[in-house]
Every structure is written in structure tokens, then in C-alpha cells.
Amino acid sequence: MSAAKPTRPHAARAADHDALRHGMNTFDGVLVAHAPDGLEDEPLRAFQAGLLTRVHAGSPRGVVIDVSRVRLLDSSSFALLADAGRMAAMLGARVVFAGFQPGVVSALMNLDVDTESLVTAMTVEHGLELLRPAEPESGGNDPEGEDPDGAEPGGNTAQSQSGPETTAP
């Protein structure tokens, strides 16, 4: 069963595994995570756990939770999804929910759930834009001490195509 000899820390491997399962990708230091469609607790809890692992392992600057595939949300599945966002926020990532569908929005309004605390964007692209770091102007130094002129912080070379892709039809 074990084809490849494990050479990397367990957390990173687990994060990769979850990333594959839940479709999480990093773009330019921002993690894009696709929320599962469905009202069952289990996939949503797995999504929470996967997101938590991945954010902790990868320390992304921000997280875009793509909810565009979610067609149905009731109050308890919404709570699980919102909790996923709060978990990532507690780890220090800025979180944006992207792509709520009109049917979902209308259901959530009817259910009167509290959506005030959510930062939202129309699309993943808009979400990524919201999470773009402020331009390193003079005097506007980040207290975190990150070198604004430096190259991309190490490691994250796999998917750093930040430029707009040519969209195939």
C-alpha cells in the first residue's frame, strides 16, 4: 500500500491529503477552499478539519471559501460553514466567502441567521482581490516584519501563477 517513502512532516502530508479531498489551492499566498455542497454534517466537519489543518500548515495570508457550488444551506449547515471561517480567522487568516448563490442567500434571510460578521465577495477572483496585501508604500511597514521587497516567502512555488489566465471557453 505504501508506495512512496514518507519524507515530509505528517502535518504537511495530512494537509495535502485534505487539500486533494476538498479541492484547496493556494494562489499567491491565499488559500482557496471549495466548500462542499450538501447539508450533511460529515462533509462539512471534514471541510472544517481540512481547512484548519491546511491553514495551520501553510500559514496563508488569507482564505477564500468558495461557496459557489453550495446550492442548499439550512441553519445548521450554515453554522458549520461559518465556523470553518471563524476557525481560519482564529489562526490569523483573513477570511472571505465567495460566490453565495441567490437561492442560498434567500434561504438564509428567511432563516434569519446572522450573516453580519461574514466578509463576502461575488467571485473567487474578487475575494482574492480583497485579500491582496496593501501596496508597500513608504512608511507603511507591516508590523509582522515581512520584507515587502523580498521574493515570495519560501516554499510556495507550486501554484504561484498570479497573473490572469487566459480563460478557455
Task: Pick between residue 25 and residue 115 the one whose CB is nearest to other proteins.
Answer: 115
Task: Pick between residue 38 and residue 156 the one whose CB is nearest to other proteins.
Answer: 38
Least Cβ distance, residue 106 to other proteins (angstroms): 7
Cβ 120 vs Cβ 94: under 8 Å: no
Least Cβ distance, residue 78 to other proteins (angstroms): 8
- Helices 75-90 + 102-111 axis angle, to 10: 100
Residue 25, strand partner residues: 32
**Strands laid side by side in the 62-66 sheet:** 24-27, 30-34, 62-66, 94-98, 120-121
Residue numbers at the binding site for other proteins (CB under 8 A):
38-41, 71-77, 79, 102-104, 106-107, 110-113
Least Cβ distance, residue 76 to other proteins (angstroms): 6
Task: Pick between residue 64 and residue 80 the one whose CB is nearest to other proteins.
Answer: 80
